[in-house]
Chains A and B, each alone.
Chain A
Amino acid sequence: KAGVTQTPRYLIKTRGQQVTLSCSPISGHRSVSWYQQTPGQGLQFLFEYFSETQRNKGNFPGRFSGRQFSNSRSEMNVSTLELGDSALYLCASSPDRGSYGYTFGSGTRLTVV
């Protein structure tokens, strides 16, 4: 059974640009969540999607957005990149209820220069 796949693994962008990250969940998983990991702030929740609907959103500015497609694949977009957006972005999938636990991908390492 394939795991959670995130692409690309590494990305370097310039301040002011925008970026799109992709996540393919485990087959059959309908919930996809996104997290930002930085040395200073640790792991912070960005948003969660289920059946193409955003169910929950963290405390991030509107520059951070996401969506989920009918096949449960998800993308997140960050516009007008800032240096502070440099982080490891992790995607996690779950069948539905979080009590099953979430399976994480290997992440996308975004560096903003």
Chain B
Amino acid sequence: GDSVTQMEGPVTLSEEAFLTINCTYTATGYPSLFWYVQYPGEGLQLLLKATKADDKGSNKGFEATYRKETTSFHLEKGSVQVSDSAVYFCALSQVGSGGSNYKLTFGKGTLLTVNP
């Protein structure tokens, strides 16, 4: 079945450092890929998405590129802020591949802490 593997962390960075959170996936067909963020005590917020190979999703300084050849969707940000401290989840959805897999498959999540 489908699966998502991401670095589990925790990741601790200083403010203005460069961030990379690795995410790779296993899936049949052509999944859509997502990054979600969860702040303490809250639900998940969609951070960015990409629906086909070579698409780049971006939002709030975060970027991720859909790499079909390496089955990866790594999250990057050039300069993190204290307010970016949260748990980040990589996920995929098979909608659009002709199947009936109307769900998100998540990685385990990566806790990011940014210190001032």
Interface residues of A (CB under 8 A from B): 4, 6, 31, 33, 35, 42-43, 45, 48, 50, 55-56, 58, 90, 92, 97-99, 101-107
Q: Provide the residues of chain B in CB contact with A92, threshold 8 Å.
A: 44, 104
Whether B102 and A101, one on each chain, are in contact in the complex, defined by CB atoms closer than 8 angstroms, is no
Whether B103 and A50, one on each chain, are in contact in the complex, defined by CB atoms closer than 8 angstroms, is no
Interface residues of B (CB under 8 A from A): 32, 34, 36, 42-46, 49, 51, 89, 93-96, 100-109
Lowest 9 A-B CB distances belong to which pairs?
A: A98-B95, A98-B93, A104-B43, A43-B106, A104-B44, A45-B103, A99-B32, A106-B43, A101-B46
B58 CB to closest chain A CB (Å) equals 14
Whether A45 and B43, one on each chain, are in contact in the complex, defined by CB atoms closer than 8 angstroms, is no
Write the chain A residue with the least CB distance to B52: A99
Known: A31-B102, A104-B43, A107-B43. 8 other contacts (CB 8 A): A42-B106, A45-B103, A45-B105, A56-B103, A98-B95, A102-B46, A102-B93, A104-B44
